Structure 1
Amino acid sequence: MRHPPRSGLLLVGAAVALVGTAIAPTVTASGATPACTVEYSVTNQWDAGFQGSVKITNNMASVSSWSLTFDFAQGQEVTQGWNAKWSQSGTSVTAANESWNGSLASGASVSAGFLASWSGSNTAPTGFKLNGTACNVDGEPTPTDPPPTDPPPTGEAPKLHVSGNKLVDASGATRRMLGVNRSGGEFMCVQGYGIFDGPVDDAAVEAIADWKANTVRIPLNEECWLGLSNIKPEYGGANYIAAVKDLVAKVEAHGMTPLVELHWSYGQYTGNSAGCSDVHATCQKPMPDAQYTPSFWASVAGTFKDDPAVAFDLFNEPYPDRATSTTTQAWTCWRDGGTCPGISYEVAGMQDLVDAVRGTGAKNLILAGGLAYSNDLSQWLTYKPSDPTGNLVAAYHVYNFNTCASESCWNSTLAPVAAQVPLVAGEIGENTCSHGFVDTVMKWFDDRNLSYLGWTWNTWDCSSGPSLISDYDGTPTSYGIGLRDHLRALNG
């Protein structure tokens, strides 16, 4: 869903879940101020990879460019990075400034992050040097192994996987994903207001469960997850990841499936139907970017790979068809990425993102939405990405103002897809403050035993952006009452 304006909505305070998490190892100085300090953190770690970051503080004279070097001791290898030009020769790693963050005044700091592989042990690097000058020289503590990632939550959420064109749980019983979207994690952090829009404590999640929802879709922001430099530290990186993990755990504790989804991403697009001109992740872009999105999904998959109850939705609403001149170009861009006509940044295709997830060893369920803001699945089967696990699902969005918003369109374009793979309507809604349209959608999907999630569990004006509730205790709007009563009738 493309969001309504936020200016009025964000004047009120929002409850922000900031869950403490160990960030180790961290190397800091003590005693007299050294020439430079480097704080090194491992924010995520999985079987063969990890996500790390460095915060560099320059205590010398101002510099117009910088280069940080350090040595890994046990065969770790940097595979991707951001906020710096990363390279590695043997055990020696170099992070050199980008064109936009080279100036580093005395007392100023800069942060950069990376993904890397490891095996055996993953001790902290040593020998940090900034422009050749040793950092942390007056009492470097001995590096220690980072703690293992938190164990997966022990809720009762089903462990879904694909069987033919159905979703089934671990026992083989057919399941449907029926629930709501919980918006906020995609925009609050990048706008500097918090992490979630409204409360996400146990009572707030219990209110969703009280509607008899069994799935909660959680939109995310890749810059916030990766902790890029334009995000306030309190709302990005480790704090953001911890808050998302905490919400996922609460959703599972109430027996519901958490569906984590990439909503807003990096990349400047000013072409047809552009949502913003900003290079940063402040709106819906036509396609994921190759610079950060594979890193985002590798990190997310690494975080949740040991919890098969978590499902992944690769990209909210692709619309390369608005940028390209032909349908073939649009679908090719959608699957393969690269240099796409009409899109100025390098694109990560759906195959790239599937590969990024599966490269971590994660076997979690994956959803992939089609063209036209996920409203067009007409050639989804033709361009379907390859998934070695066979756990790929077609995602679809429909609102009363979409092109494909009639039973005749659903019969001609959705039914053939649903005959071969599971189909999930990740967003359904209408901007009428009523529920006549979603009632029609739900009946069509019910008749075919398919899945759908209402947009959105947020207290906005239901006419400017379809909002299911007027209060986080679960009080429905005149639009939301249709979904609530229907879910209770199905699952009550």
Structure 2
Amino acid sequence: MKISGLFFIIFIFSLSAIAQQKLDRITVENNEFINSKGEKIVFRGLNASDPDKLEREGQWNKRYFEAIKSWNANVVRFPVHPSAWQKRGEAAYLELLDQGIAWAEELGLYVIIDWHSIGNLQTELYQHDMYKTSKKETFDFWQVIAQKYGENPTVAFYELFNEPTTNNDQYGKLTWEQWKHLNEKMIYLIRQNGGKGIPLVAGFDWAYSLTEVKDHPIKDKDIGYVSHPYPQKNNDARSQQWTKDWGYVKDKYPVILTEIGYCAPDYEGAHIPVKSDATYVEAITSYADQKNISYVVWVFDTNWAPRLIEDWEFTPAPHGKVWKQKMLSY
């Protein structure tokens, strides 16, 4: 009887520990993300590189997530490239997501699952082969994610499509009405398949511009909008132009900057639109903080640019030091 009682106590304690690990469900109220107590939540975190890439390099592990947490992050974004999803296969890729979500939950990190394509989903023309997908595959992906993780509050966000762009019609025409309709179909599909997370909708110009939202918002109110305001998207009168291009949306709806970042023009991997200096960090974070806008810095990797770390001991790059200092200041 004593042994049985001891096992029972251990079992109850284990259940209690598991329950304590579960993160609170995040929902939308007006223009804010809130928890179950109605408290406003602002997310500040880091972008992982693709889980497939990290696993192939032997870096998809709890240690990686502990390093992200040590920067005072409360959210991590998983960029799932269509090519990686296709090559690894659904079942094997979901195993990676299972692992990452479990590590994130254990450390108190919320997760954004991002379908990481760049191009025109309407015409199915893309910037690079790694981004090639189809409407059917995209819908199938979100159906799978909703069914598997819809009840898991750790998976707080579903970023429907990373960076839509027509690039001056290089990838074919895409009107806002068409893009709006595609997103509304994805949101409906997610909801019908049990997805309780928050869908995130990006605007045009590589997810920078949200100007169309003013007159033609997404019909579903329980969503957030995305912008990627890298420094070279706007070099002059930043705050005024940011307000015009995407910041005004926060007056009515939640906004999350799922990619921000910079590096020096002469730093390895520097490219348009990320070339800048540390003044960008203060400008973009001050603007975001004033409006309770969440943000996620790109990218916690040793070679994707602009990389935040120099090596797998997680030594910050020069610009990584600036970001880490800022995030630890909260």
- Cα distance, 1:415 vs structure 2: 3.1
- Partner of 2:142: helix, strand, or coil? helix
- Structure 2 regions of 5+ residues with no counterpart? 1-17, 268-276
Q: Is 1:238 equivalent to 2:98 in the alignment?
A: no
Match of 1:161 among 19, 24, 27: 27
Q: For 1:422-458, what per-residue CA distance to the aligned partner results, in whole angstroms no more than 9, with x for missing partners?
A: 1100000113254321221111111212111100000
Q: Which has the higher strand share?
A: 1
Q: Name the SS of the counterpart of 1:162 in structure 2.
A: strand
Asked if the contact 1:198–1:458 (Cα under 8 Å) also holds between the matched residues in 2, the reply is no
1:209 maps to what in 2? 69
Contact 2:124 2:134 in 1 (8 A): no
Mapped pair 1:248 → 2:91: no
The answer to whether the aligner puts 1:304 opposite 2:137 as a matched pair is no
**1:471 maps to which residue?**
311
The CA distance in 1 between the partners of 2:189 and 2:55, in whole Å, is: 25
Whose Rg is larger? 1
1:313 aligned onto 2:159: yes
- Runs ≥4 in structure 1, deviation > 4 angstroms? 194-198, 265-271, 324-327
In structure 1, what is the equivalent of residue 36 of structure 2?
170
> CA separation of 1:475/1:167 partners in 2, compared to 1, >3 Å: closer, same or farther?
same
State the secondary structure of the residue aligned to 1:303: helix
Deviation per residue, 1:287-316 (Å, 9 max, x gap):
x63221111100011110111231211110
Asked if 1:275 is matched to 2:127, the reply is yes
TM-score (norm 2): 0.82
User: What are the within-5 Å matches in structure 2 for residues 378-417 of structure 1?
Assistant: 378-387=211-220, 390-403=221-234, 406-417=238-249
Structure 2 residue identity aligned to 1:245: D
Identity of counterpart residues, as a percentage?
A: 23
Q: Which residue matches 1:452?
A: 295
Relative to structure 1, the CA distance from residue 207 to residue 195 in structure 2 (aligned partners, 3 Å threshold; closer, same or farther) is closer
Whether the aligned pair in 2 keeps the contact of 1:178 and 1:452 (CA below 8 Å) is yes
Partner amino acid for 2:244?
S
Q: Give the direction of change, closer, same or farther, for the CA distance of 1:198–1:438 in structure 2 (3 Å limit).
A: farther
Q: Give the Å deviation of 1:382.
A: 2.9
Which has a greater percent of helix?
A: 2
Question: Equivalents in 2 of 1:450, 1:304: separation in Å?
Answer: 25
The unaligned stretches of length 5 or more in structure 1 are 1-151, 189-193, 337-348
Which whole-Å CA distance do the structure 2 matches of 1:238 and 1:154 have between them?
28
SS at match of 2:229: strand
TM-aligned CA distance change 1:324 to 1:222, over 3 Å: closer
Q: Give the 3-state SS of the residue equivalent to 1:353 in structure 2.
A: helix
Separation in structure 1 between the aligned mates of residue 19 and residue 92 of structure 2, nearest angstrom: 18
Query: Does the Cα contact within 8 Å between 2:160 and 2:183 map onto a contact in 1?
Result: yes
Q: CA RMSD in A?
A: 2.8
Contact 2:118/2:165 (<8 A) preserved: no
After superposition, the Cα gap between the structure-2 partners of 1:303 and 1:255, relative to the gap in structure 1 and judged at 3 Å, is same
1:330 aligned residue (158, 170, 175): 175
* Secondary structure at the counterpart of residue 116 of structure 2: strand
Return the letter of the residue paired with 1:221.
H
Q: What's 2:48 paired with?
A: 182
User: In structure 1, what is the equivalent of residue 252 of structure 2?
Assistant: 420
Kindly report which structure 2 residues correspond to 1:358-369, keeping only aligned pairs within 5 A, or say none.
358-369=191-202
User: 2:170, 2:251 → 1: CA distance?
Assistant: 29
**Corresponding residue for residue 372 of structure 1:** 205
**Partner Cα distance (2:116, 2:95) in 1:** 18
Output the amino acid matched with 2:262.
E
Aligned pair in 2 of structure 1 residues 393, 409: CA closer, same or farther (>3 Å)? Answer: same
Question: What TM-score results when the alignment is normalised by the length of structure 1?
Answer: 0.56
**Which structure's relative contact order is higher, taking Cα pairs within 8 Å and 6+ residues apart?**
2
Distance 1:252 1:153 in 2: 11
The structure-2 alpha-carbon separation of the partners of 1:304 and 1:196, relative to structure 1 and needing over 3 Å to count, comes to farther
Cα shift readout 1:76-102 (whole Å, capped 9, x = no counterpart): xxxxxxxxxxxxxxxxxxxxxxxxxxx
The 10-residue stretch of structure 1 (358-367 or 432-441) with the greater mean CA deviation from structure 2: 432-441
Do 1:184 and 1:196's aligned partners in 2 also have CA atoms closer than 8 Å? Answer: no
Letter in 1 for 2:294: S
Equivalent-residue separation in structure 1 for 2:170 and 2:82 (angstroms):
24
CA contact (8 A) 2:208 2:246 kept: no
